[in-house]
C-alpha cells in the first residue's frame, strides 16, 4: 500500500462508511451504550424485527431483519433501543455538511452512513486526498463523535471493496495502478453490485477470487454472464469510470415510508397508515407548490418479497383526498397476497409546479375549487397549530388527531 496520489490528474474517490450507522448514532447520543452490545428495533411489538445491530451482536449471529425475539435470545446481554430515523437522517446531514467543504461531487446512501466523495483535482485547495481522509475522520470524531472507516481508490468500486475489507474500523488506500493487484487475492464476494444468481454462478464455476475472474476475457465471460460480462471484466481489474451520482441531480422523487413494528395484514390498519403517508406527501407537495403525476406504492411483505404498483394522474395531484384515492388505487392492485406487510413506501415522482391557472368557467369546477379551498384552510390550521389538529374522517390514530 503506498499513498502516492499525486493529485491533479488521477481520479481519487474517498469512501466514508460508518459501520452499523444507527448504532453509531445512538452511541453518540448516549455514550453509556458504547460499553455493551446494542440492538435497534421497535419496542413493544411482539413481532418486531431487527433494524440495526452493533458489531458485537453481529458476532453473536444477529442479522438485520431477524425477528427480535430470536435476536435477544442469541444476544441476551444486548441493550435494546427503538429506531429513530429522524435522528439518523439528521446525523447524515451533519456528516454531509462536513464533507461539503471538500468537493461538490458527493454521493450519499439512504440513511446508512455511506458517502462517496470525488476529490479529483482538489489537491491545491485541500492538499492530498489522503489528508482529506484523515482530516474528515478527525473532525467527525471530534464534532459528531462518529468514527468512520475511510478508504481511497481511483473509483467507487475499489474504494468500496477496500472499506468492506477493513470493516468495522480502519482506513485503506489503494494507489492508482495497484487496483488489480489489490483485488486479485480477495474473495469475489467482496465485489459490489453482484446479484445473488451471479454469486451462485461464480461459485459454480469455481471462480472464488477476484483474480480468477480477472483472468477471463470478456468473450469468455459473455458465455457465462451475458451482457454483464463487461461490468465483471472491468470491476475484476479495478477499472471503474462510473461517475458519482450526487443528490439533487436528475428527476426528483419524494419518498415516504411506514414500517409496521408488528407486521400486519389488517386492511383497516394498512389503509390508515397509507392515508397518513398520502397526507404527509400532500403536505410536502403543497408546501413546495408541486403536484405529482405518478404515485408508486411499494409493499414489503414479511417474507421478504416486494410488490409495487403505480397510479397515474395526468393533471397532477397534491390534495390529501386525491392522493389518498391514488394510493388506494395502487394498493388494490399491489396487495394481492394474504401475507403480512412489514413496510409500505409511497413514492411521488413526475413532479411539476402547480399551475396557478384558474378555471375558465368556475361554475363548472365548483367541486374541485371548494376542495382546494378546504385543503388550504386545513393546511393553514395545521401550520398554525400542529400537524395532527384536523384530519379526514376514518383516519384513525395515524394522524395523531
Partner 1 sequence: MFPLRVRSHYSLLQGTASPRQLCRRARQLGYPGLALTDRDNLCGLWAFLRACDEEGLRPVVGAEVSQPGCERLVACLVRDDEGYANLCRLLTRRHCQPGFDLAAEVPPLAAGLFLLCRDEELLAHYRRLGLCVAADLGPLPGAAARQLRLFAQRHDIATVATADSDLAEEGEAPLAALLAAIRHRLTIGEARRRLAPQALQEASSYRHSLAIWPEAVAETEKIAALCPFTGPRFGVVMPPWRGGDSLQATPALRQAAYAGARRRYGDDLGEPVVERLEHELRTIAAMGFSSYFLVVRDIVHRLAPDGSRRRRPVCGRGSGAASLVAYCLEITNVCPIKYNLYFERFLNPGRTDPPDIDIDFAWDERDEVLAEVFADFPGHAAMVCNHVFFQPRMAIRETAKAYGLPGHEIGELTRRIPWMHGGRGLGESLAALPTFRDQDLSPPWPEVLLLAEKLLGVPRHLSVHPGGVVITPRPIDAYAPLQRAAKGVPVLQWEKDGVEEAGLVKIDLLGNRSLGVIRDAIAAITPQRRRFAGDTWQPEDDAATRLTVARGETMGCFYIESPAMRLLEKKAGSGDFEQLVIQSSIIRPAANEFVREYVRRLRGGAWQPFCPQQGDILDETFGLMVYQEDVTKVAVALAGFTPAEGDGLRKVMAKKDKARRLAQYREMFFAGCARRQVAETAAAEMWRMIESFDGYSFCKPHSASYARVSFQAAYLKRHYPAEFMAAVIANGGGYYSTFAYVSEARRLGLAILPPDVRHSRRAWSAEELALRVGLSAVGGLSTAFVDGLLAARKERPFADVADFLHRTRPAENEAEALIHCGALDGLAAGANRAMQLWQWASYRRQCDDGRRPALFAPRLPPPPPLPAPEPLAVARREFAVLGFLCDGHPLRFLERPRGRLETVAELPAHVGRRVRLAVWLLTGKLVSTRGGETMEFLTFEDESGQVETTFFPETYRRHAHLLRSGRGYLLTGLVEEDYGALTVTVDALRLLGR
Which residues of this chain interact with partner 1, rule CB under 8 A?
A: 46-47, 67, 69-70, 73, 203-207, 212, 215-216, 220, 222-224, 226, 262-268, 301-304, 338-340
The distance of closest approach from Cβ of residue 304 to partner 1 in the complex, given in angstroms and rounded to an integer, is 8
Q: How far apart are CA 233 and CA 257, in angstroms?
A: 37
DSSP letters for 115-156: EEEE-TT-HHHH--HHHHHHHHHHHHHHHT----EEEEESSH
285 CB-side CA count, 13 A: 33
CA 315, 316, 317 angle in degrees (round to 5)?
A: 130
The distance of closest approach from Cβ of residue 223 to partner 1 in the complex, given in angstroms and rounded to an integer, is 5
The distance of closest approach from Cβ of residue 302 to partner 1 in the complex, given in angstroms and rounded to an integer, is 4
Q: How far apart are CA 254 and CA 280, in angstroms?
A: 11
The distance of closest approach from Cβ of residue 268 to partner 1 in the complex, given in angstroms and rounded to an integer, is 7
Residues composing the chain: 401
The distance of closest approach from Cβ of residue 347 to partner 1 in the complex, given in angstroms and rounded to an integer, is 24
Helix (H, G, I), strand (E, B) or coil at 349: strand
Comparison of 30 and 303: residue with beta carbon closer to partner 1: 303
DSSP state of 360: S
Comparison of 253 and 305: residue with beta carbon closer to partner 1: 305
Comparison of 106 and 202: residue with beta carbon closer to partner 1: 202
The distance of closest approach from Cβ of residue 215 to partner 1 in the complex, given in angstroms and rounded to an integer, is 8
DSSP letters for 245-286: --TTSSS--EEEEEEEEEEE--HHHHHHHHHHHHHHHHHHHH
Comparison of 212 and 321: residue with beta carbon closer to partner 1: 212
Comparison of 25 and 49: residue with beta carbon closer to partner 1: 49
Name residues whose C-beta falls within 8 Å of residue 212's C-beta, 6 or more positions apart in sequence.
188, 206
Q: Which residues pair with 252 in a beta bridge?
A: none
Comparison of 267 and 370: residue with beta carbon closer to partner 1: 267
Amino acid at each position: 500500500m503506498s499513498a502516492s496520489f499525486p493529485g491533479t490528474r488521477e481520479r481519487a474517490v474517498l469512501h466514508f462508511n460508518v459501520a452499523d450507522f444507527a448504532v453509531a448514532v445512538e452511541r453518540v447520543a448516549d455514550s453509556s451504550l458504547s460499553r455493551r452490545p446494542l440492538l435497534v428495533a421497535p419496542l413493544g411489538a411482539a413481532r418486531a424485527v431487527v433494524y440495526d445491530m452493533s458489531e458485537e451482536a453481529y458476532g453473536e449471529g444477529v442479522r438485520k431483519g431477524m425477528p427480535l425475539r430470536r435476536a435477544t435470545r442469541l444476544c441476551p446481554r444486548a441493550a435494546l433501543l427503538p429506531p429513530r430515523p429522524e435522528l439518523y437522517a439528521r446525523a447524515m446531514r451533519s456528516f454531509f455538511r462536513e464533507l461539503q467543504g471538500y468537493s461538490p461531487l458527493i454521493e450519499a446512501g439512504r440513511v446508512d452512513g455511506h458517502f462517496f466523495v470525488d476529490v479529483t483535482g482538489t489537491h491545491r485547495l485541500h492538499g492530498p486526498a489522503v489528508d482529506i481522509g484523515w482530516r474528515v475522520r478527525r473532525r467527525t470524531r471530534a464534532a459528531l463523535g462518529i468514527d468512520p472507516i475511510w478508504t481511497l481508490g481511483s473509483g467507487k468500486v475499489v474504494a468500496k471493496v477496500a472499506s468492506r475489507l477493513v470493516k468495522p474500523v480502519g482506513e485503506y488506500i489503494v494507489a492508482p495502478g495497484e487496483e488489480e493487484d489489490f483485488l486479485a487475492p480477495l474473495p469475489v464476494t467482496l465485489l459490489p453490485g453482484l446479484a445473488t444468481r451471479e454469486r451462485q454462478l461464480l461459485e459454480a464455476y469455481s471462480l472464488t477470487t477476484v483474480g480468477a475472474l480477472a483472468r477471463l476475457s470478456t468473450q469468455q465471460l459473455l458465455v457465462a454472464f451475458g451482457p454483464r460480462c463487461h461490468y465483471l471484466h472491468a470491476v475484476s481489474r479495478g477499472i471503474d469510470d462510473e461517475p458519482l451520482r450526487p443528490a439533487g441531480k436528475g428527476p426528483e422523487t419524494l419518498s415516504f415510508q411506514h414500517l409496521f413494528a408488528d407486521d400486519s395484514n389488517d386492511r383497516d390498519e394498512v389503509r390508515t397508515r397509507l392515508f397518513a403517508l398520502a397526507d404527509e406527501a400532500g403536505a410536502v407537495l403543497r408546501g413546495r407548490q408541486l403536484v405529482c403525476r405518478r404515485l408508486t406504492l411499494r409493499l414489503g411483505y414479511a417474507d421478504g418479497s416486494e410488490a409495487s404498483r403505480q397510479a397515474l394522474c395526468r393533471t397532477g395531484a397534491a390534495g390529501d383526498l386525491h392522493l389518498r384515492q391514488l394510493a388506494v388505487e395502487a394498493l388494490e392492485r399491489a396487495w394481492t397476497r394474504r401475507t403480512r406487510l412489514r413496510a409500505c413506501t409511497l413514492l411521488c415522482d413526475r413532479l411539476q409546479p402547480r399551475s396557478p391557472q384558474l378555471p375558465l368557467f368556475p361554475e363548472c369546477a365548483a367541486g374541485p375549487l371548494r376542495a382546494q379551498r378546504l385543503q388550504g384552510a386545513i393546511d393553514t390550521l395545521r401550520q398554525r397549530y400542529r400537524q395532527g389538529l384536523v384530519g379526514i374522517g376514518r383516519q384513525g390514530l395515524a394522524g395523531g388527531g
